[in-house]
Amino acid sequence: MSSRRRRETPWMHRRSRYLIAAVALLGAINTGYLTVTKLLGGETTCPTEGCEQVLSSPYAYVLGLPLALFGFLAYVSIIVFALAPLTVSPEKNKQLRTNLENWTWLLLFAGTTAMLVFSGYLMYIMFSQFVIPYGVAGICVFCVASALFALTLFILTLLGRAWEDVGQLVFTGVIVGMVTIVGTLGVYANANLSNSPGTTAEGPAGPPVTTTSGESEIALAQHLTAIGAKMYGAYWCPHCHDQKLLFGKQAFDQVTYVECSPNGGPGSQPLQECIDRAIEGYPTWEVNGELYSGTQTLEQLADFSGYQGPRNFQNQG
């Protein structure tokens, strides 16, 4: 009776490669968008400030290139590994099809394991360096999505076929995981501050201020400093850069500026001050005990601060 029974291949095993390719495609779209945005110097569209904050931090660059680029290449590789055997007809070339399936399953397991471990490290960085200090504002939605894609790919790979030697699989996973951790720590130890755009020996710095200051801008900056006014900002923040451009280089050098981004300046005291002041958006001005969020015109800052000097400001944006 048992000889007449044919063991049916589970649905998951029949469709697993298609599912893996589909999830990897979503990951490629996610990281591809980030890669294009960063390479073209654009701003990512995100419901929280955390996207630009995290994606412009030193952790988002490796060897001077956006980390998203390497993620994109990893997802594309997974797509290739998943679909490559399906291009070979099992009727015409059964041996090649079998060999491709075996090798690509091993590559899928190693690749998704490495991606899962690396994504786990990046989630640790995001929560420890951004979410804990800033709360929800420190969450990078694109980063969380990529981590979920990596987890899903790993699970689909495990469930996608009947693995014969589980012990060998576990051993391979441990080795790949250890190599990934060591490699990740090594890369960031040497590159996280020195190879990212806008970085100095003291820490990351934003784009240079290219506008010049007139007498009115300098006088206003000196007045703001004299009354204890401060600008809270982040080196990666485009609106903060716009604010600096309104002052011009000579004037903004005299403004009291507090860097709020982690790794944005020497020491942790500036960051703690931002936390104590409950700074949530950048730039934020503290003038005469009041907080003003967003880029302010020089006329507005003059009004807020009671400035009585000349107002023929030349940098109007």
Domain 2-197 has CATH 1.20.1440.130: yes
User: Can you state the angle between helices 67-83 and 11-39, rounded to 10 degrees?
Assistant: 150
Cβ–Cβ under 8 Å, residues 126 and 138: yes
Which pLDDT does position 202 carry in this prediction? 40
* Res 24 pLDDT > 90: yes
Per the CB < 8 A criterion, the answer to whether 260 and 270 are in contact is: yes
Homologous superfamily, domain 204-305: Glutaredoxin (3.40.30.10)
| Rounded Cα gap, residues 62 and 49, in angstroms | 22
Fold: same for 2-197 and 204-305: no
Lowest mean pLDDT across 41-50, 63-72, 99-108, 170-179: 41-50
Residues 6+ apart with CB under 8 A from 78: 20, 21, 24, 27, 108, 111, 112, 115, 153
pTM of the predicted structure, to 2 decimals: 0.65
CB 301 within 8 A of CB 287: yes
Asked if 253 contacts 202 with a C-beta cutoff of 8 angstroms, the reply is: no
Check pLDDT > 50 for residue 60. Answer: yes
Find the mean pLDDT for residues 146-164. 94
Q: Is residue 49 over pLDDT 70?
A: no
Asked if the peptide bond before residue 283 counts as cis, ω within 30 degrees of 0, the response is: yes
Average pLDDT over residues 42-48: 71
Q: Where are the domains of the chain?
A: 2-197, 204-305
The answer to which of 42-56, 225-239, 247-261, 274-288 has the lowest mean pLDDT is: 42-56
Q: For residue 171, is pLDDT > 60? A: yes
CA contacts within 13 A on the Cβ side of 223: 21
Instruction: Spell out the residues 6+ positions from residue 178 whose beta carbon is closer than 8 angstroms to its own.
Output: none
Position 46 scores a pLDDT of 75
Q: Are 112 and 81 in contact (CB under 8 A)?
A: no
